[in-house]
Structure 1
Amino acid sequence: MARLTPAFWAAMVTVLIGAICLLLSPYQDWISIWPDAFTLPVTSWLGNGLTSLFEFLKPAARFISWILSYPMVWANILLVHSPYSLTIGLLTALGWYIGGWRMTLLVLGGLGFVLLSGYWIASMNTLALVFVSVPLAIIVGMAIGLLANEIRVINRPIGTMLDVMQTVPTFAYLTPLLLLFGFGPVVGLIASVIYAAPPMARNMMLALQRVEPDIKEAAVMTGATRFQQLFLIEIPSASRQIMVGVNQTIMAALSMVIIAAVIGGFNDIGWEVLLTMRKAAFGQSLIAGVVIVIFAILADRMSSTFAHDGRRYSWRVALGIAAISAIAAMVQSSVLPGPDHYAAFKGTTAYIDVKLGNFTAANGAILERLKNGAMFYVLLPLRVGLDEAVLPFTWGFQWTNAMSAWVFVAFGLIAAALSAWNRIVLGLCLLIAAGVVVVGIINLPWPFVLVGLGALGWFAGGPKLATFSVLMVVAILVSGLWAPALLSIYLCTASVVVCVVIGGSIGIVCALSETAWSIFRPICDFLQTIPLFVFLIPVLMFFQIGEFSAFLAICAYAIVPMIRYTRHGLTSIPEDLLEAAVASGASEWQALWEVRIPYSAPTILLGLNQTILYAFSMLVIAALIGTTDLGQQIYLALGQGDVGLGVAAGAAMAILALVADRLVQAFAAARRKALGL
């Protein structure tokens, strides 16, 4: 009976606790606000403890920094002072060898744009950091992957460590690294290695696990030692998957070195974007952003082609291109201008600024209405609740307690009506959602959040997951970061809901129409290639600094996984299952809603999982343009050098992402089990 299912009890307990909190909160302040007496000085403890530890480790860290500065300096000298014609020629030759004339044109056109933009020197500074950080990240990632593969006992701890490395916000790395390694590009290098090593480690582990047992047995039968088996047989057999890891490592490193520009230290292209955004010089900012996108596209296309396409083109042609570039380099100083003399887009940037000014002047009222409409009627009610958001100057009337009561009565009746169709759990969930909107996410009583989270964890994965989820969130409560954590949850929830609705709809359309997928696929590829930093530029151009701009940037970045996974799930249905649905007389839409979507639910849930993680990743970057959540706390800690606050806020955001990840994965696993997959 539905009333006795775990889902029913989880929803019912949450509803009851929510009702009790609503009734008692006007009389008991501790229900709405976590008592200060129970708040631990976690940030102070972390700050004092880590500062003492860093003082002990600082000599060794500064020695490592001094060592790493040498490859940084030499890579910088090599790229910055090499004739640009030689650099372009060598990379073009590599492009030909990897991908033929298409890759050649892509490399030549992309680097030509970088040169003409006037950002060649800044780009080479960025490229120097990538050239040093990527090999280090690959070595570290491969070492971690090999260690996890060879010593199975530490496989789970290493997996947890990789989860932490990937869920801790990128800005949170920078504060402690600054104290340890000092100010400068080496901090960006080390942060890039920390951020980019996990993809390499995960792909290394996956690659070695996928080596065919027959190959391993053949290596053993030949009498090879374990070292020989690993490096002469298994790793070469897994080279394709390992190269996928190299591709992901390159993209992660490039993304991180752009983020590291926030600390300054050298004139790279990320710093140019940040500086021009701060000056509201959006024309220059857009050109610098395009330069970053070009490098990201070139890195992605070249590394992915090398990983997936075994075909190689004539090395003689590549050698000829390199020889021509060497000749051009010898005559460059006397014939061609230096890289600083190029400014082909100076007029374009001025034109963009003028046109943008004219557009915002002419359409400012429309843009303002769009922003205010979204804020007043969607985001603000979700944030502070209908009780505080519905005001005479926005909605035209004042929200009252009686209206709240009627909302609860109406949804209670809906829940009762749905129980007649054996849908009582759905009705209770709608009642809970109505309560969240009435009260507002940032005003939710902490007992309700803990009980609701525990009930959700119990239903999804049992008592172990429930305990894990509750204890993790209690850690945020006692640290004194509950208010910014709720703001992070609010903005992430709003963005994820939009991504699920819009991205899921686009994914369904793309699953039904190859023409639609041919249109949206390059858009998805493009959005996944763009470094996070660049998403801020267009939203700032039209909507200025504020929460709405941050919301749009998060949606733009996080929507792609929802599109891809939805389409992949719907197009991976077994043919015999679809044939059975058609044979039973189901129409295309009936087959979609009753067969394809239920069967692809585990894959769609994985897309939801990735969307949530993407949203949390972008949330920290969005702190640059006006949020007040945990991301802003991390950013403030970076500016103030407050390592305690930076680590605590970063850990809090990592906890939220980790709990969401575990819950969604548990639901996906339960759905796969129900389907017998």
Structure 2
Amino acid sequence: MSDATLHGPSAPASRGRSTIMPAAAFVGLILVTAALAQFYPILQRWPTEWLVPVRGWVTDGFAWFGATAKPVTRTISWILAQPLALVEALLYRGIPALNWPPLPWIAIVAGTAILGHWIAGWRLALFCGFCAFYLAIFGLWSEAMQTLSIVLFTVPLAVAIGLWLGIWSTRNSKVESALNSIFDLMQATPHMAYLGPIVILFGFGQVPAMLATLAFALPPMARCTILGIRTVPSDVIEAGHMSGCTARQLLWKVELPAAQQTLLLGLNQVVMQTLAMVVIASLVGASGLGQKLLFSLQQLQIGKAVEQGVAITLIAIVLDRMTQAMMRRTPSQHAKGTAWHERHGHWVAFLAVTAAAIVAARVLPVVEILPRDMTFSYGQLLNDVVRWISKNLFAYIKPVRDWITIWVLLPMRDFYLWLPWPTVIGTLALAGWYLGGLRLALLPICLLGFMMLAGFWTPLMLTVYLVTGCTILSVLIGVPIGVWASRHPRGARVVMAVCDTLQTFPSFIYLIPVIMLFQTSDLSNIIAMLAFATVPSVRYTYLGLTRVPQPTIEAAVASGTTKRQRLWKVELPIAFPEILLGINQTIMMALAMVAITALIGSRDLGQEIYKALPSADTGRGLLAGFGIAFIGIIADRLIGAWARQRKRDLGLA
């Protein structure tokens, strides 16, 4: 087999035919497969009687394994429940048998502020203290502590396991290759798909929720560990060898300290992924803010949902700001002989406040936890606002929603459902061959063919339809904003700050305004996905345009081009590979939202996952999750190959 067969046609070799021949091949494939499907129904829809019962096999397999391994899984649950119970006792349960209350809320609020001051000074201290105070003053303290207890227990565990896997990978290339493939699948699989297998093996409750959270949050830490160790400068490694370090000393005293910034970035990602998953884990019995928010959404209690959503968001922002500040923190320096209480003043302050709060709580119960009559709520006010919107504005919103749905979304959906399966798979395979050769061409054939044979073709295409609609809108909105930001440095700071904030919000939050304004519909699903997925289009467009080499821009100016000509004929073509990567990330984030938007009604793969949870249909939920992951993997490989090809064409790689 020739090299051209394996790697596809060379773009630079024949630039003239490189655009004509692929276009003709795509058009010919679409016309032939669509025409054949009119005469052979099997090409339109795979016969039901020919489906492979993979779903049943997976469900039966997990049921058998769950029953067989029940003593082991229950033992693991019991072991993990003990330290988790200790964290819960400190934060909100106390120890009733010994008549020990939990830490007073004032101590935790003060401790949060003190920790913020230790990390980054008074500004972060005041912000963190205010956010913690919000949880108490609005009557959400117990639920917030339930959520935080899972986070505080899961994050160190995920960091430790991820660190170990990352170190192992850097020492063994075969392990690294295998783990990278597993991590690709794990990170492309939506949050909710983790819940089904965990429920079968470990049941419902806090520990299963923690295990699902652990599985989802672990890959970023492992990958950041691999990246950090791999990027340690070679001269630092050589200096360690010359100093006589053993392999263990080189790792712990040279490589890991040198990779500290990347490791802290991994910690930040673990924290954010953990908090996002803890909310979703409420579907398997995890108590806390996520459970409250889910109930409020299901009951359309928008006011309460906003209160709870703001609480989750504040926790996420506090943890995000703290971990980011840790990456920039410079360790304090003390003169030799400095007293212990001066070197550890923040610890002394926290212990003093905690001791005083515990003593005061014995006399004043208000110090332990705020009574309900001393808390506030703006939920009823928001409910009144929502009712006012429904009464006065929905008459104007509904026609717009219905017009977009009837004239844009429904025809688009029907077109995707009409497409014959050979057209879809064949087009993607042809694109894979053209961009990356035979290996990339086989990827959509194998992955999408598996989903078709397993009986998930219709929800798969509905998912593609929603993600396509979201991606188109994200590009139409995000790319112009990114272009504008690249032209206005002051505006860019505001835009990037908004992007940071939008990425900090847990995905659940985006459902609240959508339900409030648009109720439940395909348009609601796309808008909820849009708010979450537009950020990468903005970021990567801005990044690509600001990285255009200055000599190239100066040459364009010297050629007499206008600003518009420079943008369209010089800057955007050079930034196009970066913009493609932004589109790739937009697709990934839209896919991550698919399972979340199932909570407000849909018929896609996300809904398959959601329906599988109550019935413990593990095969249905797991295969639907894999289907979403397969879409993401195919999009990632094709767009990545296209971006690399464009860089080669432009001489950038």
Judge same fold: TM > 0.5, yes or no: yes
Q: In structure 2, how many angstroms separate the alpha carbons of the residues matched to 1:83 and 1:566?
A: 48
Q: CA deviation at 1:49?
A: 2.2
Contact 2:151 2:278 in 1 (8 A): yes
475-484 or 545-554, larger mean C-alpha shift: 545-554
Secondary structure at 2:67's aligned position in 1?
helix
Contact 1:117 1:343 in 2 (8 A): no
Q: CA deviation at 1:2?
A: 7.8
- 1:466-505 counterparts in 2 under 5 A? 466-505=441-480
Match of 2:596 in 1: 621
Match of 1:675 in 2: 650
Residue of structure 2 aligned with 1:519, choices 494, 504, 507:
494
2:584 aligned with 1:572: no
Q: In structure 2, how many angstroms separate the alpha carbons of the residues matched to 1:669 and 1:3?
A: 16
Contact 1:219 1:233 in 2 (8 A): yes
- 1:154-553 counterparts in 2 under 5 A? 154-266=175-287, 268-310=288-330, 316=345, 319-320=348-349, 323-335=352-364, 337=366, 338-339=368-369, 341-342=371-372, 346-384=376-414, 440-553=415-528
Contact 2:116 2:322 in 1 (8 A): yes
In structure 1, what residue type is equivalent to 2:190? P
Q: CA deviation at 1:14?
A: 2.6
Contact 2:137 2:376 in 1 (8 A): no
Q: In structure 2, how many angstroms separate the alpha carbons of the residues matched to 1:221 and 1:245?
A: 30
> Does the C-alpha gap of structure 1 residues 559 and 575 become closer, same or farther in structure 2, counting only changes over 3 Å?
same
**TM-score between both structures, scaled by the size of structure 1:** 0.89
Q: CA deviation at 1:453?
A: 0.7
Q: In structure 2, how many angstroms separate the alpha carbons of the residues matched to 1:315 and 1:577?
A: 54
2:102 aligned with 1:127: no
Match of 1:20 in 2: 32
**TM-score between both structures, scaled by the size of structure 2:** 0.92
2:652 aligned with 1:640: no
In structure 2, what residue type is equivalent to 1:295? I
Q: In structure 1, how many angstroms separate the alpha carbons of the residues matched to 2:647 and 2:375?
A: 53
1:130-157, Cα deviation, whole Å (9 max, x unpaired): 0111011101111111111011232221
Contact 2:137 2:370 in 1 (8 A): no
Aligned residue pairs: how many? 621
Q: In structure 1, how many angstroms separate the alpha carbons of the residues matched to 2:109 and 2:306?
A: 23
Q: CA deviation at 1:347?
A: 4.8
Q: In structure 2, how many angstroms separate the alpha carbons of the residues matched to 1:311 and 1:3?
A: 56
Q: In structure 2, how many angstroms separate the alpha carbons of the residues matched to 1:498 and 1:343?
A: 46
Q: In structure 1, how many angstroms separate the alpha carbons of the residues matched to 2:401 and 2:462?
A: 19
> Does the C-alpha gap of structure 1 residues 576 and 181 become closer, same or farther in structure 2, counting only changes over 3 Å?
same
In structure 1, what residue type is equivalent to 2:50? F
Match of 2:137 in 1: 116
273-282 or 290-299, larger mean C-alpha shift: 273-282
Match of 1:74 in 2: 86
> Does the C-alpha gap of structure 1 residues 158 and 451 become closer, same or farther in structure 2, counting only changes over 3 Å?
same
Q: CA deviation at 1:279?
A: 1.6
Secondary structure at 1:600's aligned position in 2?
helix
> Does the C-alpha gap of structure 1 residues 351 and 105 become closer, same or farther in structure 2, counting only changes over 3 Å?
same
In structure 2, what residue type is equivalent to 1:327? A
Q: CA deviation at 1:317?
A: 5.9
Q: CA deviation at 1:315?
A: 5.1
Match of 2:52 in 1: 40
> Does the C-alpha gap of structure 1 residues 265 and 510 become closer, same or farther in structure 2, counting only changes over 3 Å?
closer
Q: CA deviation at 1:39?
A: 1.5
Q: In structure 1, how many angstroms separate the alpha carbons of the residues matched to 2:232 and 2:577?
A: 26
Cα RMSD of the aligned pairs, angstroms, is 1.8
In structure 1, what residue type is equivalent to 2:218? A
Q: CA deviation at 1:470?
A: 1.5
In structure 2, what residue type is equivalent to 1:19? L
Secondary structure at 2:614's aligned position in 1?
helix
Q: CA deviation at 1:534?
A: 1.2
Unaligned runs of 5+ in 1: 385-439
Q: In structure 2, how many angstroms separate the alpha carbons of the residues matched to 1:4 and 1:578?
A: 27
Q: CA deviation at 1:312?
A: 5.3
Unaligned runs of 5+ in 2: 1-12, 93-101, 334-342
Secondary structure at 1:545's aligned position in 2?
coil
1:578-597, Cα deviation, whole Å (9 max, x unpaired): 11111121222221111111
- 1:134-145 counterparts in 2 under 5 A? 134-145=155-166
1:395-426, Cα deviation, whole Å (9 max, x unpaired): xxxxxxxxxxxxxxxxxxxxxxxxxxxxxxxx
1:232-290, Cα deviation, whole Å (9 max, x unpaired): 11111111111111111111111111110122243x00001011111211111100000
